[in-house]
Amino acid sequence: MSDRPQKSIFAHKQTYSMKGNSKSRSVRDIAHKNERLAGACPHVARPQPPIILEGMRPSAVVDLIESRVAEQNRILRGLRKERTARKDVLRAIRVDTHVLIASVFSFPDPVAEMDEAEYLRWRKDAMDFAREDAARNGAEVLSVIEHRDETHPHVHVLAVPICADDNMRMDAKRCHEGHREQDRHRESGWSGSPSRSYKQAMRAWQDRYHADVGARHGQSRTGPRRRRLDRATWKAERDRLEAQKAASIAIERAVEAKAIAEEAHARLQDEMTVTLASMIEDAETAHLIAEEGLIATLRHRRTDALLIDRLIAEPPVPMRTRRPEERIELNRVLQPVISDGLQRLHELLLVSWTRR
């Protein structure tokens, strides 16, 4: 096995306000950067239009946030008048209130060298993780964007808080593990910096991403240098992750193969049921004709009354009394139908015998 660099995860999540400040960009800045608008991403040498994988364009996310904030502020004004005792939790959503949760997940292989099938499997798992992560934190994913114009392909996920009784102000920090733990640190009066609790919570979030996504694709939690791993330990971990990745792919393929086989079996069963039911119905009809005659059979089958009246007025001529040319014509028309029916019956019986 070659001594290729070990692949490690990259996942980041942050919240943004409409206004922004010297330490953080605004919601609109993030949207413009993700949409690759002119001048919004100077770090990219040759910006290319993003690929919208799910939801709306980033700029449309900004418009929707502004609309929701305006509507929610109108609701909050009404509630403040009704519930004067809760004015503190019903105050208006300000421009510096964080209202967007933006996550980014990067694939470890460069665009020019990556295996497309492997990347697509990773991308699906990363998107599934992002949706589940938003749901468990009381947020809604509005846009998923892919960029391939940098060294490594990556996926951006834009989510907004869901208005609920415990988050009437659409506060994105309530939907972010790091900010929640930081606030809890302050409220509990714990020693040390609140930022320590923030970092611990986000490390736990990255641990979860690694367990759910990274490890399934042969990616380590961190690189070997950061953990000061010796060469033997690094190789052993790399081999373990590669084996885990291979096992994950094998399981996925087995599940897919099982689903395809079950679908084919169900389809065959349906076809056989329909065909056999039709054959039984034809046999019952032939028996009824022989026992009770054509007219009684048609009445039994609830055939159109006008057709029955016509048959009674003009009884069909029996086959044996028809002229030779009429019999030849009837044989010519019926022979292909009979042959097809016998062939289909033979196929069904063969399949039934094979499955025993």
pLDDT at 320 over 90: no
Q: What is the pLDDT of residue 292?
A: 61
Average pLDDT over every residue of 318-339: 57
Burial of 311 from C-beta contacts in 10 A (0-12 / 13-18 / 19+): middle
Is residue 162 in a domain?
A: yes
Candidate from 84-98, 234-248, 293-307 with smallest mean pLDDT: 293-307
pLDDT at 93 over 80: yes
pLDDT at 2 over 50: no
Q: What is the pLDDT of residue 265?
A: 80
CB 83 within 8 A of CB 180: no
pLDDT at 189 over 70: yes
What's the pLDDT tens digit per position in 126-174? 999 999 999 999 999 999 999 999 999 999 999 999 998 889 999 999 9
Q: What is the pLDDT of residue 191?
A: 93
Check whether residue 191 and residue 295 sit in a common domain.
Answer: no
pLDDT at 311 over 60: no
Is residue 4 in a domain?
A: no
pLDDT at 340 over 70: no
Q: What is the pLDDT of residue 207?
A: 94
Average pLDDT over every residue of 222-239: 65
DSSP of 182-228? HHHHHHHT-SS-HHHHHHHHHHHHHHHHIIIIIGGGT-BSS-TTTTT
Cα separations in angstroms, 293 against 244, 280, 296, 315, 338: 71, 18, 6, 12, 22
pLDDT-based confidence at 64, cuts 50/70/90? very high
pLDDT at 58 over 80: yes
Candidate from 126-140, 185-199, 270-284, 319-333 with smallest mean pLDDT: 319-333
Last residue of a domain, one of 187, 205, 228: 228
Is residue 191 in a domain?
A: yes
Q: What is the pLDDT of residue 174?
A: 96
Check whether residue 218 and residue 266 sit in a common domain.
Answer: no
| Chain CA centroid to CA 280, Å | 43
pLDDT at 117 over 50: yes
pLDDT at 104 over 50: yes
Check whether residue 19 and residue 168 sit in a common domain.
Answer: yes
Domain CATH code at residue 161 = 3.30.930
Average pLDDT over every residue of 17-41: 94
pLDDT-based confidence at 183, cuts 50/70/90? very high
Q: What is the pLDDT of residue 1?
A: 37
pLDDT at 201 over 90: yes
Residue of 16, 11, 182, 216 whose CA lies nearest to 106: 11
Check whether residue 304 and residue 187 sit in a common domain.
Answer: no
Check whether residue 305 and residue 187 sit in a common domain.
Answer: no
**Gyration radius (Cα) of the chain, Å:** 34
Check whether residue 24 and residue 84 sit in a common domain.
Answer: yes
Structural element, H or E, at residue 142: strand 139-147
Global pTM reads 0.66
Check whether residue 196 and residue 304 sit in a common domain.
Answer: no
The H-assigned helical ranges of the chain are 27-34, 58-82, 116-136, 177-188, 194-209, 231-292, 294-300, 305-313, 324-355
User: What's the mean pLDDT when you consider all of the chain?
Assistant: 82
Candidate from 35-44, 230-239, 260-269 with smallest mean pLDDT: 230-239
Q: Which domain holds residue 265?
A: 260-355
Is residue 121 in a domain?
A: yes
Q: What is the pLDDT of residue 272?
A: 78
Check whether residue 196 and residue 90 sit in a common domain.
Answer: yes
Total domains present in the chain: 2
Last residue of a domain, one of 228, 247, 281: 228
Check whether residue 96 and residue 186 sit in a common domain.
Answer: yes
Check whether residue 303 and residue 172 sit in a common domain.
Answer: no
Last residue of a domain, one of 228, 252, 283: 228
Check whether residue 17 and residue 137 sit in a common domain.
Answer: yes
Check whether residue 170 and residue 295 sit in a common domain.
Answer: no
Is residue 205 in a domain?
A: yes
Is residue 238 in a domain?
A: no
Is residue 246 in a domain?
A: no
Is residue 98 in a domain?
A: yes
CB 109 within 8 A of CB 7: yes
Return all residues near 159 (Cβ < 8 A) that are at least 6 apart. 100, 101, 102, 103, 130, 134, 139, 140, 141, 142, 175
Average pLDDT over every residue of 71-91: 84
